[in-house]
């Protein structure tokens, strides 16, 4: 098993979401345990069902599919965990109880950091 990978996704744009999802899927496919921690606009978009919004016109031609579907497949088939911390939920204006069913866990940042151990931490 590879080193753990913690991906902090807080960038507002679609491209940040695309890069984070691509890296998460690639790392998980290579056997790394992956946690994607959402904050800010990506967190609001995930909870509101708008995670795919903002894709450029060329996304279809480049064969970039639904980011939401890719991340859901990664969660199901590769064991990617999608999390947020309670503070980030509140800062994003998201009710933690409403978000819980849409996430794998609500974990504090210190818990996320400990889980990453001596692995990789990436921020998008």
Q: Single out the residue of 95, 120, 123 nearest to residue 32, CA to CA.
A: 120
pLDDT band for 10, please (50, 70, 90 cuts): very high
Q: Single out the residue of 12, 11, 31, 4 nearest to residue 111, CA to CA.
A: 4
CATH code for the domain defined by 5-123: 3.40.1260.10
Is the pLDDT assigned to residue 63 strictly greater than 90? no
pLDDT band for 61, please (50, 70, 90 cuts): confident
Structure confidence by residue, pLDDT tens digits, 70-91: 999 999 999 999 999 999 999 9
All structural domains of the chain with their residue ranges: 5-123
Structure confidence by residue, pLDDT tens digits, 104-119: 999 999 999 998 888 9
pLDDT given at position 58: 84
CA distance 71 to 73: 5
């Amino acid at each position: 098993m590879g080193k753990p990978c913690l991906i902090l996704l807080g960038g507002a744009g679609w491209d940040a979401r695309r890069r984070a999802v691509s890296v998460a899927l690639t790392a998980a496919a290579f056997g790394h345990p992956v946690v994607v921690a959402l904050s800010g606009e990506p967190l609001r978009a995930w909870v509101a069902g708008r995670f795919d919004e903002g894709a450029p016109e060329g996304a279809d031609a480049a064969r970039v599919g639904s980011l939401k579907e890719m991340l859901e497949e990664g969660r199901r088939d590769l064991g990617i965990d999608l999390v947020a911390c309670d503070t980030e939920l509140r800062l994003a204006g998201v009710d933690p109880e409403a978000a819980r069913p849409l996430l794998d866990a609500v974990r504090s940042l210190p818990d996320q950091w400990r889980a990453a151990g001596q692995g990789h931490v990436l921020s998008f």
